[in-house]
Chains A and B, each alone.
Chain A
């Protein structure tokens, strides 16, 4: 079974520039998550999709971050304009659903490491 694919692996941008990350979840996984992991911290949920609808985006800084999941499959996360404090690893994860017994299929991608200078 193919895993969660993310690209790019690394990105370095200057502050105030824009950047986009892409995620392709495991086939058949209805739920997709974007997490931000700052160095030395655990991942923090930014946004959760169920198919192509948003379930939770309460911690997404909507003045600069946006995300979409077209057709309920691939997803993109965008930052515009970027700030220094956005430097982090952005992890995408997917799961079959949200019921407890499907949570052990909760799989993370390798992440995109963003450095804002």
Chain B
């Protein structure tokens, strides 16, 4: 059965800290690994990873995929209170369906 496991499930840090969120996956006919940020409404797209070892960066966020170990991490440096959200990891199969993990709830304290 396909599954995506995220850790930790919740995390509390202070502004300025660096955090690493983990995602392991087992997805049949795996094609891509996606990261989303979810505040109160719809998940918003952060990154899509398809190749191992190539880091993607967007401002203070970065992510990398390891297809051998079936693992991805999302890093956030110099965290801000606006980074507080649930971060979802999803494995994409060949049909376009996404298998989501339960998410990591990040709380950034001032």
- Asked if A pairs with B, the answer is yes
- A contact set with B: CB distance below 8 Å: 4, 31, 33, 40-45, 48, 55-56, 91, 95, 97-101, 103-104, 106-111
Q: Which of B39-47, B64-72, B73-81 contacts A (4 or more CB under 8 A)?
A: B39-47
Partner of B95, one of A98, A107, A109, A110: A98
How many A-B contacts if CB must be within 8 Å? 67
Complex-state Cα separation, A52 to B39, whole angstroms: 31
Partner of A95, one of B31, B96, B100, B103: B96
Complex-state Cα separation, A103 to B90, whole angstroms: 11
The interface residues of chain B lying within 8 Å CB-to-CB of A109 are: 42
B21 on the A face (CB < 8 A): no
Report the count of interface residues on B (CB-CB < 8 A). 25
Query: Given that A43-B98, A48-B97, A100-B50 are contacting pairs, would A107 and B32 also be in contact in the complex, using a CB cutoff of 8 Å?
Result: no
The interface residues of chain B lying within 8 Å CB-to-CB of A56 are: 95, 97
Contact, CB under 8 Å: A40 / B96 = no
The interface residues of chain A lying within 8 Å CB-to-CB of B103 are: 41-42
Contact, CB under 8 Å: B96 / A48 = yes
Q: Considering only CB atoms, which chain B residue lies closest to A47 in the complex?
A: B97
The interface residues of chain B lying within 8 Å CB-to-CB of A48 are: 95-97
Partner of A103, one of B4, B41, B48: B48
Contact, CB under 8 Å: A40 / B32 = no
Complex-state Cα separation, A56 to B43, whole angstroms: 21
The interface residues of chain B lying within 8 Å CB-to-CB of A98 are: 94-96
Could you name 18 residue pairs across A and B whose Cβ atoms are closer than 8 Å?
A: A4-B42, A45-B98, A45-B99, A48-B97, A91-B42, A95-B96, A98-B95, A100-B32, A100-B92, A103-B48, A103-B92, A103-B96, A104-B45, A106-B34, A106-B45, A108-B36, A108-B44, A111-B41
B27 on the A face (CB < 8 A): no
